[in-house]
Amino acid sequence: MPDSQPSPPPPPPSPRRRRPRYAGKYPRHFHEKYKELQGARYAETVAKVIASGKTPAGTHRPIMVAEVLEVLAPRPGELAVDCTLGFGGHARELLARIQPGGRLLGLDADPVELPKTEARLRALGFGADVLTVRRSNFAGLPQALAAAGLAGAGVILADLGVSSMQLDDPARGFSVKHEGPLDMRMNPQRGQPASALLRRLQPDALARLLRDNADEPHAAALAAALAGKSFATTTALARAVGAALPRLNEEDRGLSIRRVFQALRIAVNDEFSALETFLRQLPSCLGDGGRAAILTFHSGEDRRVKAYFEAGLREGVYAACSREVLRPSPEERRANPRSAPAKLRWARKGG
């Protein structure tokens, strides 16, 4: 018999690849929150985060959904507009209620989050026949309606809050939770970041900005310390705000830090001007009997919405508007602390 050839040795086993880990029990950096950023894969983790009263990273929990739906009363066959699409939570509920035969136009100025939201809504089965998405600030609503060949909306919603996706991402520079560039632009492709705005402002102008945009009681002292200075990161600015107010306790310093960030964000994105443009154009975008609802998150926004709605009621543009502001329920505030400052006002066009 011929000599038998020895069998080749088996190949070595492939090394087992471990999934990425983060240091400690909870992730410290946004990019390490892989479980929350992969919600479909780690649903149990996401559920635990929500149960603890927090918002999972990379997501947003729509605010006052039941109240919004009650005042807007969307009906099958209507044209609805979500002027601030965000994560798509409100839009999803509106789309469900305007079917069959209805259509929704969704607007958002954020080029980072808008494609993700459109993809999520498309995956839920909302095709081009029922959902049109445009990258636009809500002040461009008339142009967006015209471009889509639409007119006379039955329902228009604007949620003026900053989304959790923007707040939680350090690269956007909206929050001091993690260090990031001092940017704050809703559309990072346009305008100047907050760092550039601070460098060019004089103390008097910055003090007015802090008072007008955030009702900051220490505006003069903060303006003297911050105006014309260079702050590259969110944490550098936060430290400077705290150092400028040494006599305040930690809680009050924290409030001032948040107010400074709010005031700069409003200025960087020209939010008040955009809101006033939107409010002026709103009646012409509503059909007869159309309903509008606006969620605001600080007094400057709410004062403007209230004034425009009440003026429209006096002039006969609106047949009715909210007499009292609506607030989140105690249960919602406990479950989602970011809802706490929300205020909801509505108006209905005559006809």
> Number of C-alpha atoms within 13 angstroms, CB side, residue 78?
23
In whole numbers, what is the pLDDT of the chain averaged over residues? 87
**What is residue 43's predicted lDDT score, i.e. its pLDDT?**
53
Report whether pLDDT(31) > 50. no
Residues near 151 by beta carbon (within 8 Å), at least 6 away in sequence: 145, 285, 287
pLDDT tens string 212-222: 999 999 999 99
User: pLDDT band for position 7 (50/70/90)?
Assistant: low
* Cα dist from 128 to 80, 119, 154, 158, whole Å: 14, 12, 19, 22
3-state secondary structure of 108: strand
Confidence of residue 154 (pLDDT cuts 50, 70, 90): very high
Q: Please name every residue paired with 158 in a beta bridge, in sequence order, or none if there are none.
A: 294
| pLDDT tens figures, 176-191 | 878 899 999 988 888 8
Q: Which of 72-76, 171-175, 281-285, 322-326 has the lowest mean pLDDT?
A: 171-175
**Residue-level pLDDT at 26:** 42
- CA angle, corner 85, sides to 300 and 61, nearest 5? 80
pLDDT at residue 55 is higher than 60: no
Q: β-strand 103-108 against 131-135: which pairing, if any? A: parallel
Mean pLDDT of 260-271: 95
Does pLDDT of 1 surpass 50? no
Task: State the pLDDT confidence band at 18, using cuts at 50, 70 and 90.
Answer: low
CB count in 10 Å sphere of residue 316: 8
Whose tokens are 């159309």? That residue is 290
Give the integer Cα–Cα distance in Å for 77 and 129.
Answer: 12
Triad 292, 298, 301: Cα angle to 5° = 45
Tokens of 234: 């969110």
**Buried b / exposed e along 223-234 (16+ C-beta atoms within 10 A):** bebbbeeebebb
Token readout for 38 is: 């992969």
Q: How confident is the model at residue 12 (pLDDT cuts 50, 70, 90)?
A: low
> In which band, very low, low, confident or very high, does the pLDDT at 168 lie, cut at 50, 70 and 90?
confident
What are the pLDDT digits (tens) for 189-205?
Answer: 888 999 999 999 999 99
> Which tokens sit at 152?
């006379």
Averaged over 123-141, what is the pLDDT? 96
Q: How far apart are the first and last CA of the chain?
A: 103
pTM over 0.95: no
Which of 21-30, 71-80, 219-228, 272-281 has the weakest average pLDDT?
21-30
Residues in the chain: 351
42 falls in which pLDDT band (50, 70, 90)? low
- Name the DSSP class of 57: T
Q: Is residue 261 helix, strand or coil? A: helix
The per-residue pLDDT for 25 is 45
pLDDT over 50 (residue 36): no
For residues 266 and 298, give the distance between their C-alpha atoms in angstroms, rounded to a whole number: 11
pLDDT at 190: 87
Using the predicted structure, report yes or no on whether residue 30 has a pLDDT greater than 90: no
pLDDT above 90: residue 169: no
Structure tokens at 41: 């894969």
- Beta strand 286-296 with 343-349: parallel, antiparallel or unpaired? antiparallel
Q: What is the model's pLDDT at position 163?
A: 73
Domains delineated in the chain: 65-164+272-349 (3.40.50.150), 187-268 (no CATH)
pLDDT of residue 17: 55
Distance CA(280)–CA(39), nearest Å, equals 40
User: Does pLDDT of 308 surpass 60?
Assistant: yes
Average pLDDT over residues 93-106: 98
